Structure 1
Amino acid sequence: MVAATNSNFLRILPEALHTNRTMLSTALAVALWLNAICVPIGGRLVDRFGLRKVVLPGIVLFSIAYLLLSQVTNAWEFLLVQILIAVPVSMHASPAYAKLISLWFDRHRGFVLGLAVALGAGLGQTIMPKVTQALINTYGWRGGFIGIALIVLAIGFPAVALLARTPKAMLVADHAASSGEQAETEQRARFGQQGYTRGEALRQRTFYQLFAAIMFGSMALLATMAHAVPLLTERGLSVSDATTVMSCAFAGVIVGQFSSGFVIDRLNTPRVLTPYFASALIGVVILYSAHDKHILLPAAVMMGLGLGGEISQNAYLVSRYFGLKAFGAIYGLTFAASALGNGTGVILLGYLRDLSGSYDICRYLTGGAMTAALICVTFLPKFVFSSPKAAAR
């Protein structure tokens, strides 16, 4: 949700902090690269200690970090705070929530993961660019950071504290394992004990194929989202129209999350994601080529469809290829792939824009990265841990 607001700040902070877009893009990229290191650690902590003990402190620290962002006076202070943000981000990133959902749901896991991401991240990403721009217009960029900090703390903390609970049967299974009792294979599978360890997953080609698909997809799509407002305003759109295009992209994300989860539960094949990635490829190329708002709007939706399929079904693919035994640690690594690709894309787009004076050349970077992601996801193998519905066929 919050990452969707980077584009709002990237347009105005170069002048406010007396720096250039490359420097700020570098700061965001460093934070994302650190996320790539820290998120797998956060996933392992969730595997060991449970969601609430890790996520709740992470939310508080994240809000404090955004309050600090509101007080920076130069680019180096901005970079320092972005480095600090990597720690709380790793504590309440997607792997924690995805594991909790996967423990509760098996038969309809793809749809529920898509639903959760759509109503959480997707809806937030659709609304927050508009909310953030309103805060900036009213209170300035410092007020924008303060507003985001308060929103995350006021909504996120009580939601996790009151609603996030591990299934009771999972606790029973954990107790049985710790006391030396033998659990039935079906019970262990049902409550998260079946699957590969992180080391076993790292020895499989499928892991690296999935890692590459997520990394290149994020390089093309998430990095474009970060630069969307300056990209579109330089093409002649107003800030209001640019944020509207972004909101359309995030609306496409929601549709992609809902529909991909619904379909993948029924067809039980990774091929479901191929048209979503193809849609994103077409959309991102048009976004860097067109100038007409009426063409950019559907292109943004197409790009969002692919991003929605990637974001929501990353967790599903991990659970079906590697099981739930070390889900947090393994999904943390694929989430790191997203952060790595996003960070690299953000800095490269900023550098290429400053080097050439426009974003036009960036279509080759984003188009090439999205093509690589499409190839990787198209040739993924069959699932290893199929849903009960598929197993019954």
Structure 2
Amino acid sequence: MELNDKIEKALHAEQKDHEISAGWRLILASALGIGFGSVGFATYAIGAFIDPLGKEFGWSRAEVQGAIAFGVGLGGFAAPIIGMLIDRYGGRSIAIYGLLGVTVGYLMASTAGGNLCYFYLAYAAVAVLGAGSGPVSWTRAVAARFDRRRGLALALTLSGTGMAAIVVPPYAVLLVENFGWRVGYVGLACLPLFALPFVLLFFFPAKSGPAAAAAAPVSTDAASAPPTGLTLKQATSSYRFWLLLFSILAMYLGITGIVPNLIPALTDKGFTPSAAAAVQSVYGFSLIVARLGIGWLLDRFWGPAVAALVLTSPVMACLILIGEPNYATAIIASALIGAAAGAELDLLAFFTARYFGIRNYGRIYGFLYTGVAFGAGLGPVAFAYLSDLTGSYNASFQGALVLFALGGTSILFLGRYPNLSAETRPANH
């Protein structure tokens, strides 16, 4: 009996390691898709365009950042619809058309004149036409494919946003400073096309919908068995859904308020645009390192404790940015914010699967993602508006400090992981 137990444990350990090696192609395609999709780099790129657009057209910083609010807000409304379509029909075609939609939107932005409404319309096109390239498409595919290494697989996938955070700010600044903001937007339009070949070759999500459930084999392996999970109604009846939504909203108001405004905030404090872009790139490195570390920890420890530790770290970053940071302390602040950003989307995907299951993951994640979209839309313009109003970003950093403290600690009240029993499985016919 003891020998059988040891053999079973060894087999389970081997299966854990095999999951990542067997599914690396899906992870690679998903990481590139999420990094260069509709929300992967929008907030990282806008900082390079704020002052050039303001000088040419007289737009305020808040007006330029309003494009993010307008576009991401529409993307948030689209996310639940995309989630339902993915649960029903699968995500491959939806993701491919979404990447092409992002390219169309940024090409529209490159043709903007002094008409602010048209500029907003271009960002709306990025969000709506590109909605299928949002996180729900990629995380749903990975969460369904991986079970024992789900935390690490999601971390690797969502590290695509960290890659974008490293590459896009200096890339955008380089294009804008040397060729102008119009060429800068054309350069952004090319990024989804870089991801597209990998998606075409490697992104084959598991089948979704009733037909997939009926075709699923009976298995003791949770990764291959029919998916379990709550309905959307059951999920929204749970306090965990609303607690998770509150935490997401608070964190994303703070994170996306700071990140796209970091370049102008640092230039106000005497940094050159290139130095400020270099500081923001550190955010991307930190995001990737934190995300991989968190993914490893989530597979081994209680997730809310891991989350609370990382999500409260930007409090120190805000204290640094309120003062007069030098290059070294600005890098520390950027790294701390990156660590929290590295956690948030990873934790949203992981907690959605853990607390609500896979069966209706797209629907539930899509509705929770509206918190991300609302925070990502409101944060940049609110921070820029406070800057225009007060002549400094310090008031914004003070508000972000409170948001990080509340959003980071509230996650502890999610409680233990529920047992999603066999009763939640759709019946095979």
Say if 2:98 is the partner of 1:58: yes
What is the CA deviation profile of residues 227-250 of structure 1, one whole-angstrom value per residue up to 9, with x for unaligned ones? Answer: 111011000001111011101111
Aligned residue in 1 for 2:41: 2
Cross-structure match for 1:345: 379
Aligned match for 1:95, one of 127, 136, 146:
136
In structure 2, the partner of 1:280 is 314
Structure 2 CA distance, aligned partners of 1:173 and 1:330?
Answer: 17
Q: 1:314-393 alignment to 2 at 5 Å?
A: 314-384=348-418
Q: Check the 8 A contact 2:219/2:225 in 1, yes or no.
A: no
Does residue 157 in structure 1 map to residue 189 in structure 2?
Answer: no
> Take 2:209 and 2:85, find their aligned partners in 1: how far apart are those partners?
20
SS in 2 for 1:361: helix
Aligned residue among 186, 208, 211 for 1:146: 186
Unaligned runs of 5+ in 2: 1-39, 421-429
Distance 2:311 2:222 in 1: 34
Q: Please name the residue that 2:342 is paired with.
A: 308
1:76 and 2:113 aligned: no
Aligned-partner Cα distance in 2 for 1:140–1:55? 31
Alpha-carbon offset, residue 146 of structure 1: 0.3
Q: What are the Cα deviations for residues 338-366 of structure 1, in whole angstroms up to 9, with x where unaligned?
A: 11112111121111111111111112211
Once residues 222 and 284 of structure 1 are traced to their aligned partners in structure 2, the CA distance between those partners, rounded to angstroms, is 13
Higher alpha-carbon deviation: 363-372 or 200-209: 363-372
Q: What is the TM-score with the length of structure 1 in the denominator?
A: 0.91
Which structure 2 residues correspond to residues 112-127 of structure 1 after superposition, within 5 A?
112-118=153-159, 120-127=160-167
Q: Which sits farther off after the overlay, 377-386 or 34-43?
A: 377-386
Conservation of the 8 A alpha-carbon contact between 1:352 and 1:359: yes
* Of 174, 178, 188, the match for 2:211: 174
Q: Go from structure 1 to structure 2 and tell me whether the alpha carbon gap of 1:108 and 1:189 turns closer, same or farther (over 3 Å shift).
A: closer
Q: Report how many residues are paired.
A: 379
How far is the alpha carbon of 1:281 from its aligned partner? Answer: 2.1
- Matched with 1:198 is 232
Distance in 2 of aligned mates of 1:276 and 1:301? 12
d(CA) in 1 for partners of 2:344, 2:230: 22
Distance 1:262 1:200, change over 3 A: same
- Distance 1:176-1:323 versus aligned 2 partners, 3 A rule: closer
Taking structure 2 as the reference length, the TM-score comes to 0.84
Output one character per residue of 1:370-392: Cα deviation in whole Å (capped at 9) or x when no partner: 11201221222111258xxxxxx
Q: Tell whether the 8 Å contact from 1:252 to 1:304 is kept in structure 2 after alignment.
A: yes
- Give 1:192 shift: 5.3
1:174, distance to aligned residue in structure 2 (A): 3.5
SS of match in other structure, 1:237: coil
How far 1:172 moved relative to its partner? 11
Match of 2:126 in 1: 85
For residue 251 of structure 1, the aligned residue among 278, 285, 288 is 285
Distance 1:192 1:343, change over 3 A: farther
Rounded Cα–Cα distance in structure 1 between residues aligned with 2:314 and 2:392: 22
- Asked if 1:136 is matched to 2:173, the reply is no
Deviations 1:37-87 (A, max 9, x none): 111211111111211111111111210111010000122211122222221
Q: Secondary structure at the match of 1:379?
A: helix
Alignment partner, residue 35 of structure 2: none
1:107 aligns with 2:148: yes
Residue identity matched to 2:200: A
For the 8 Å contact 1:192–1:323, the answer to whether it is kept is no
RMSD: 2.0
Question: Counterpart of 1:38 in 2: which secondary structure?
Answer: helix
Distance 1:294 1:143 in 2: 32
Deviation per residue, 1:94-148 (Å, 9 max, x gap): 0110011111111010011111211x22112111111111111222110011011
Structure 1: distance between partners of 2:202 and 2:189: 21
Corresponding residue to 2:78 among 38, 44, 59: 38
Alpha-carbon distance in 1 for matches of 2:400, 2:50: 19
- Give the unaligned 5+ runs of structure 1: 387-393
Are 2:269 and 1:265 equivalent residues in the alignment? Answer: no
**Hey, what does 1:390 align to over in structure 2?**
none
Rounded to whole Å, the distance in 2 between the matches of 1:71 and 1:321 is 45
1:11 paired to 2:45: no
The alpha-carbon deviation at position 261 of structure 1 amounts to: 0.5
Distance apart, 1:35 and its partner CA: 1.6
8 Å contact from structure 2 (residues 88, 208) kept in 1: no
- Assess if the C-alpha contact under 8 Å between 2:46 and 2:65 holds in 1: no
Partner residue in 2 for 1:23:
63
- In structure 2, what is the Cα distance between the partners aligned to 1:8 and 1:328? 33
* 2:106–2:123 Cα contact (<8 Å) kept: no
